[in-house]
Chain A
C-alpha cells in the first residue's frame, strides 16, 4: 500500500515535470511513456520520499523572552532546513549509488543530516510558549518517574546542566528512556548523532550547539540556558 502510494507520488512528480499527464496534452504516445515510467518505478527498491521542514506549533516570537525570535527563525529556517535539504541530497545520491564504497562514503552525510533533521524535529516539539504551559514543571507519571530516579525535578535540571556543559564542541543533551530497564537517563550525543544511537528513546532534547544560543546569550552560560529550555517544555 505504501509502495503503491509512493510509486504514484513519484509518478506524479515525473509527470508534473513533463506536463504530459496533468496538462491538456494527454495523448496516446505520452500514455505509453507513462506506462514505461510506471514499470521503471516499480523496479526501484527504495521509495523516493522527500523530507520536508516541519512547521512549528507556535510563532517564532512565542518563546520570548527565553529564546529570541531571531534565534528561532535562524535555527528553523536556516540550520534545520539545511539538514533537511542535505539529507534529501544524500538520499538521492544513495539511490543512484551502486558502488559499495560510494554507498559507505555517504553514511556520514546521512548520519549527520538525517540526525540533524530527527533531533531538531523532536526539539521543536519539546518547546512550548509560556502562555501554553511551557515552562511548568512536569506532572503525572513523568513527574513521579523523575522524582524516583533523580530525587527531584531541580536535581534533574542540575544534572542536565552539568552534562550539557560537559559536551565538547557540538552536541545534544537528552532525557531519555531505557525501554528495557524502564528507567530514565540523562545522556549526551555528539554533533547530530540521534539518541537512538545510545539505545534510548528521546523524551526531551536540548540543542547545545553554539548556534542554538549564541546570538542571545553571547557566552557559554550553559546552565542558565538549559534551565530555560527545560522550563519551556
Chain B
C-alpha cells in the first residue's frame, strides 16, 4: 500500500469523516455519546440518520488502520488459527470465502471477519458505511473495498489488492487482541484480563475502553 494512498486515505478521507462528524454533532445531544453508541443510535434500525455515514466511517477507518501493519500478512497462529480452522475447515478455505465476498461486493463497502454472539465466526460484507456493530456482531478484521482504498495502487484490479492484503498487511496480533477482548462479552472460555500496560496503550488510540 503506497505512501500516497495512505496520505490520501488517512489524511484526507478519514480526516474528512472526522471533521464532518464533529461539525455535525457540535452543539447537539450527540456530543455526549461515545462513538459506538453514536453509530448504533444513528443507524436507526436500517433508516440511518445523517450522522451515521460519518460516524460509522470514522469508526471503520480507525478499525481498519489497526487491522494493518507493516510486514504483516501470512498466516495467523494460536487461538485465531484454531478458531478459523474450526469454523471454515482451513485457513485457505477462510481466505477463499473472504476473497469471494470481497470480489462480489457491488459498489462501495467493507468485508469483515466477525464473531457472532453465539461464538460463530462469519465472513460478511457491508455496503458503504455499514459495519457489523449494527448487527450486534464483534468485528475482528476488515478490508476497505471502497475504490479510494486501492485505486491509486491497483486501479480496477481489486483482486490484486485483496491478495496483497492477505500476503502483506494483516495484523494478526490485533485480531487476537480483539478476540481476547470479545471473551468479556461472550462465553468463549476464561476471561483474560489484559495487562495494565496494554490497556494504557490501547486507551491512547481507541475510543472504546
CB distance from B10 to the nearest CB of A (A): 12
From B73-81, B115-123, B143-151, B160-168, the one touching the partner chain is: B143-151
- Chain B residue contacts of A211, Cβ below 8 A: 147, 151, 155-156
Sample of 6 further A-B pairs with CB below 8 A, known A168-B53, A169-B127, A218-B12: A79-B156, A191-B106, A210-B108, A215-B152, A219-B8, A220-B12
Q: How far is the CA of A211 from the CA of B127 in the complex (A)?
A: 17
| Partner-A contacts on B (CB < 8 A) | 8, 12-13, 16, 53, 106-109, 127-129, 146-148, 151-152, 155-156
Asked if A74 contacts B155 (CB within 8 A), the reply is: yes
| Count of interface residues, chain A, beta-carbon cutoff 8 Å | 21
Number of A-B contacts (CB under 8 A): 53
CB pair A82 B156 closer than 8 Å: yes
Within A174-199, the residues touching B (CB, 8 Å) are 190-192
Interchain CB contact (< 8 A) of A78 among B8, B146, B155? B155
Q: Do the beta carbons of A210 and B148 come within 8 Å of each other?
A: yes
A-B contact pairs, 9 of them (CB 8 A): A108-B106, A169-B107, A169-B108, A169-B109, A191-B106, A192-B106, A210-B147, A215-B151, A218-B8
For A108-130 the 0/1 string (1 means CB < 8 A from B) is 10001000000000000000000
A170 within 8 A of B: yes
Encoded as 1 (CB less than 8 Å from any B CB) or 0, chain A from 205 to 230 comes to 00001110011001110000000000
Give me the 6 closest cross-chain CB pairs, A-B, nearest first. A169-B108, A210-B147, A169-B128, A191-B107, A170-B107, A214-B151
B109 to A, closest residue via Cβ = A169
Q: How far is the CA of A210 from the CA of B147 in the complex (A)?
A: 6
